[in-house]
Amino acid sequence: MLPIWVAARRVWNPPLRMVIVGAVHIAQALVVLATACGHDTQIIDPRPAFAAAARFPGQTLIDGWPDEIMAESPPDARTAVVTLTHDPKVDDPAIFAALASEAYYIGCLGSTRTHAKRLDRLRDKGVPEAQIARIHAPVGLDIGARTPAEIALSVMAEVTLRLRRGDLVNLPLS
């Protein structure tokens, strides 16, 4: 047992958390990887056909709008937010909520063309460029991923890189 003076000096961080918006096939693999990497996970999707317990056994599924759910439990500096639906009606409110938070990572699924349209919508809503720069899109490291599991792996790799090494700009990956 540690002396009381040593135990009192230990720093206890809140747990890592990942908010996954969209109970899609990539989320099925991502939630497993995120959990294995130490993140408490929650999957938010207002579409009951997607957010079904049978598709995500043992996982925290929340049937609701992401911005409302994140307002109740805002992302903090130990939270990653990943949007996966491809539906601006679901993803955009989640992105706004994430940008208003201290989330250490905000990633959005979609092609560069889809992301360009997303950026236009954000700019039209008056989101400052400094906030927009926080978004990682297309989400994940470019490892040539094709399958949902490979895409989830690329996302988890980028989340881990951001968590452990900070700013991703000009980081050597070797």
Average pLDDT of 98-116?
96
Domain with 41 in it: 14-165
The predicted pLDDT at position 9 comes to 62
Any domain includes 5: no
Q: What is the CATH number of the domain that holds 160?
A: 3.40.50.720
State pLDDT tens for residues 116-159: 999 999 999 999 999 999 999 999 999 999 999 999 999 999 99
Res. 3: pLDDT tops 60: no
Whole-prediction pTM value? 0.89
Residue 70: which pLDDT band, with cuts at 50, 70 and 90?
very high
Do the domain assignments include residue 94? yes
9 belongs to a structural domain: no
Taking the C-alpha atoms of residue 56 and residue 65, their distance in angstroms, rounded to an integer, is 18
User: 2 in a domain, yes or no?
Assistant: no
Rounded-to-integer distance, Cα 38 and Cα 29, Å: 15
User: What is residue 91's three-state secondary structure?
Assistant: helix
Helices 25-36, 148-165: crossing angle, 10 deg rounding: 40
The helix-helix angle for 88-99 and 112-124 (nearest 10°) equals 60
The answer to whether position 174 is within a domain reads no
Examine residue 6 and state whether it is found in any structural domain, yes or no: no
71 lies in some domain? yes
- If one counts the domains in the chain, the total is 1
- Report yes or no on 173 lying in a domain: no
Q: DSSP string spanning 111-166?
A: -HHHHHHHHHHHHHTT--HHHHTTEESS-S--S---SHHHHHHHHHHHHHHHHHH-
- For the chain, percent of residues with pLDDT exceeding 70: 89
